[in-house]
Structures are given as C-alpha cells and as structure tokens.
Amino acid sequence: MENKYTQMEFSKGLFELNEETLKELSDSKYMNADLVPTSASERTWNTYNIGMLWVGMVICITGFSYAAALIALGMGPIPALINVLIGNLIVLIPMQLNSHAGTRYGIPFPVFARISFGRMGSHLPSLMRAIVAAGWCAVQCWVGGAAFSSIISVFSSSWDTEGMGRFIGFGIFLVLTLILGLKGSEGIKRLESLGSPILIILCIGLICWIVSLGNDCGLSVGDMFLAGNEPATLEANGGFLYVFLAGITSNIAVWATLALNIPDFSRYAKSQKAQFRGQLYAMPTSVIVLATIGAMFAKVTEVAYGEAQFDPTAVLLHLNNKFVVLVVSLGVIIGTLTTNMAANVVAPANGFANLAPKKISYRVGIIITCILCIVYRPWWMYGDAGAFMFTWLGTCGTILGPVAAILVADYFVVKKKRINVKALYDEKDDTYTYNKGWNIRAIAAWVLGFIVPLLGKFGIGGTFTKWLDANSYIVGFILAFVLYILFMKSEKKSYVSEETFVEITEKKYAQQ
C-alpha cells in the first residue's frame, strides 16, 4: 500500500515534513533553502533563547522615544509609561497567535502567508513588511547620522552639527549601511555581538547623565515621574484622550511588522510554551525599561532646556567633553548599525528579492532599501514627536493591523490550525492556489480593514474617522478579522478536514 503520509508529528502538537516529501519538493519553485520548514533537530530555542532574542531587538536608540514622544506631546510620565505598556501588551496578542503556526509546523512567514493570501498573494504582506522595515531603516540611519555629525564636530568647531551636518551624517551612515549590505561583511557579525552590550552601556551612561542634569536643576528622579500633564500642549495636539488612544496605536505599531513575520523566529522554538513564555517575559519588560529611561530623559530636558526632547541623540549636543562625545558617538554608531542591519536591511532586501528572484537579486534589494531611506525623509519622520507617533507609527499600524488579523482569523478560525504543509510548496497541488495564486477574499478584507481608519489621516469623514484613526490598529484588526471569516465561508478547497489531516500525518512520538 502506498504511503500517503507527507508530514510527521514528532512531538505533541509539533510537525515536520518527512524525508520522502522533502526530496519530492526539492525542485519546486516554491521551495528554497530559506523556506524549508525546520526539522525537529533544528527546533532548539528555549524560553531563555527567545527572551534574549527579544532583549536584543528591543534595545535600540529609538526604543527610548516611545514614552518620551508622548511626554513631548504634553502627557505626564506615568500616563505615558502606562500607554507604552498597554500598547505592547495588546500587540503581544497577535504576535503570540501568529507565533503558533511557526512553532507548530516550522514554517517561515512568507510560507505562512500563502495559507491566507495564496502563493502569489503572499507577496503582498511580505512587500508591506519590507516597505515598513525600509522606513525603520531610514529612521535608524537618521539616528546614526547624528552620531557621525557629532564626531565631525569634535574636530571642527565650526561644524553645523544639527543643520546641514546632520544631513551629511545621515548620508555617511546610509552609505556605510549600503556597503555592508552589499558586501555581506563578516565584520558585521562581530559587530552584532557587540551591539547589545554597547547599547546597555549607553543606557547606563544616559541614566547617569539624566540624574546629574536633574540634580543641577533641582529635579529628583521622583519629581521626574510625578510630573503632571501639560494641558496646553495636550490640547494643541488633540486633547488627552486623543493623544492617549493614538499613542496606544503607535506603540502597537512599533512591533506591527514583527507581529506578521514572527514565525521566522518562532519556528526554531522547542515548544509552544517556550516561545510563549520567552516573549511574554522579555518583550514588555525590555520595552518598559527603555521607555522609563526615555521618560526621564524627556522630563529632565524639558526642565533644563525648556523643551521635552524625545531623540536621545540630542544628548550629544549637551556634552562638553570632546572625548566623551567621541566615545558615545562611536557607541551609538555601532549599536545602531548592528540593530539596523539585522532588523531593517536584510529583511526588506529579501522581501524585495522575493518578488521576482530572477530579476531582483538580494544586492538589488539592498539598493532599493537604501533608496527608500531617502524617499522616506527621516528628518521629517523622526524630527517631530507628532510626525513620529501619529503619522509614521500610526500609518504603519493602520495598514499592517488588518494583515495580522487575517493571518490569525484564517489559521485559528477558518483552517482550525490544520495545515497541509506539503501543499504550500507543491507546484501540482492546488489546495492554496485560490484564484491563480491570489486569495481575493483576503485582499478585500485587508483593504476594507485599513481604508476607513486611513480616511481620518486625510481629514475625510470629520470627527468620526479622526477617532477611528486614533484607534486604527484595533479598528482595522477587528474589521478585517470579521470580514475575512465572512468572506471565507464559501471557500472550501483550502480547508483541510480532520480526516484528511489524519491521513497525511504520521505520529512518531510516544503517546501517554
């Protein structure tokens, strides 16, 4: 009798493709070395490994800005920190849910997206993720550029550090990012091992500077946290409730991209418990620690200099010792460069290359990413707290929230967590083909999910859409979630019944 098994349950709730199936799929155009499901032996990450991954991703210069930007918009430190915590706990929900498929089946995000959007349609969420990551690359280059500008000012007293010098610094950092991306330098691997420790040292240094400046101004640490709201500033930005709700959306949006491609990491987890606990313990904790430092920074600069700063690189303008400026700037460059290369350069380059592998190479993807860094105008995106929180982060959340909702709704509600993994790669299998590779229902749910809240950003629809925009991630998520389930009621081909799932799955673990 012919063996119909294509996948194996090697541990309760964990699956891998069997060797015969992998050999059969080796020549498929939908399979390559980066997309192969992880085997049982490759799933080695425990709670600690997942937690440290998050610590490494969270610790970056922009991580200080999320609470600080809200303080710059008139909010007090305590409400700002509560806002950051709420936003990150909310986004942890779709992130944990989308992690499940990666751990259960060992599939990366581009393959996971095929289940909902189809083989061709899966390029759409991958492209959205790439475009947003390129925007973050632009912001990080602007941050790193400030450090380069400060280094030049050490050797030239006439250097315009914050004017044209900042743009020149941005250009230098962008070119360095391009060179390292094109060469795939082994040196960057060594820098990556130094990046997080250097940023931790910078965190400690920033805290010392904040406390010292506060003492000089007669401001204790307790005073920094207990400071109240600034009513006039809040009113100028839409009032407390609007800023608070829009702030939650912005803090959700910080990790909106990772809420999509989290299977790229969770597929290496030893178990669902490991990935769940690792993320739950490390992500909110790391974020709130950096946000707390950022809140202190914003408040002390408001008292000392008359305006709450949200960009920590502003510290460089207030350091009088040139040697300290040089050391801190080098630390910012190395820390920002490693974060940027790992999170915001490689991912979009692969995303663009994945659109047309024969026409767009990884190197061309790197060039596209760097060009977009200029198109994004980070001097505007990160130059103002309102633009950073409401326009940049808010728009990211508006567009990506519905995509996360569709992935969650499809996997848990429509497909019941049952996936025919072989069919995701098999050219001859039409289980996930939909309409010539496109699931129009998913695309319709995505567009309808973001279009209404997006109207508020353009002032269309008055007060109603303005408040929808303030809650755009949550509104878009709920809309797309409900619409997708309704649209998929008549679609049966991509559904794997329990009987079929049992037929294609061989159990290879000791059952108790």
pLDDT at 163: 87
Among candidate residues 290, 311, 297, the one with its CA nearest the CA of residue 63:
290
Q: What are phi and psi of 269, to 5 degrees?
A: -75, 145
Q: What pTM does this model have?
A: 0.89
Calculate the average pLDDT of the chain. 89
Rg (CA), the chain: 24
- Which range in 127-131, 260-264, 436-440, 469-473 is most confidently predicted, on average pLDDT? 436-440
Assess whether pLDDT exceeds 70 at residue 193. Answer: no
Q: Which pLDDT value is given to residue 53?
A: 83
Average the pLDDT over each of 198-207, 227-236, 373-382 and give the range with the smallest value: 198-207
- DSSP element (H, E) containing 165: helix 164-183
Among residues 493, 479, 486, 496, the alpha carbon closest in space to that of 404 is found at 479
Assigned token pair, 414: 């429509």
State mean pLDDT over 439-457. 93
pLDDT digits (tens, 9 = 90+) for 315-361: 888 888 888 889 888 888 887 887 788 678 877 887 787 777 667 88
Higher pLDDT, 34 or 294: 294
What confidence tens digit (pLDDT) does each residue in 149-171 have?
999 999 998 898 888 999 999 99
User: In this model, does residue 441 exceed pLDDT 90?
Assistant: yes
Q: In what order do the strands lie in the sheet with 505-507?
A: 14-17, 7-11, 505-507
Q: What is the pLDDT of residue 197?
A: 78
Identify the structural domains of the chain with CATH numbers, from first to last: 54-82+122-259+285-507 (1.10.4160.10)
Identify which of 17, 64, 36, 508 has the alpha carbon closest to the alpha carbon of residue 309.
64
In DSSP terms, 15 is beta-bridged to 9
Give the span between the Cα atoms of 67 and 243, in whole angstroms.
12
Rounded Cα gap, residues 141 and 176, in angstroms: 10
